[in-house]
Copies of this chain bind each other. A is one copy, B any other.
Amino acid sequence: MAKVKVHVFLKPGVLDVQGKAVEGALQGLGWPGVSEARVGKLIAFDLADDVADKEAEVKRMCETLLANTVIESYKIEIA
């Protein structure tokens, strides 16, 4: 069984309001050194061993369901 992690982030240039909110809140709470905050999703799941080409299948999952590829990019980690 493989442990799969998919990181989904808004593409650079797409306004990340959640990131801006986190950045503003941290600065307001006394951490002025925080910048460029982005908030993304992290999807973790187990994938059965009988799935043949895991990397390609997970890529297809991302394109189909996990990421909105118009505005989001993703990164796949399989361990």
**Contact check: which of B33, B61, B66 meets A48 at CB < 8 Å?**
B33
Is the pair A65, B26 in contact by a Cβ cutoff of 8 Å?
Answer: yes
* Chain copies in the assembled complex: 2
A33-B50, A50-B33, A51-B33 known; A45 and B61 CB under 8 Å?
no
| Chain B positions within 8 Å of A46 at CB level | 34-36
Number of interface residues of A (CB under 8 A): 33
Which residue among A9, A19, A34, A35 has the maximum number of chain B CB atoms within 10 Å of its CB?
Answer: A34
A26-B65, A39-B41, A42-B40 known; A33 and B7 CB under 8 Å?
no
The interface of chain A, by Cβ under 8 A from chain B, is: 7, 9, 19, 22-23, 25-26, 29, 31-48, 50-51, 57, 61, 64-66
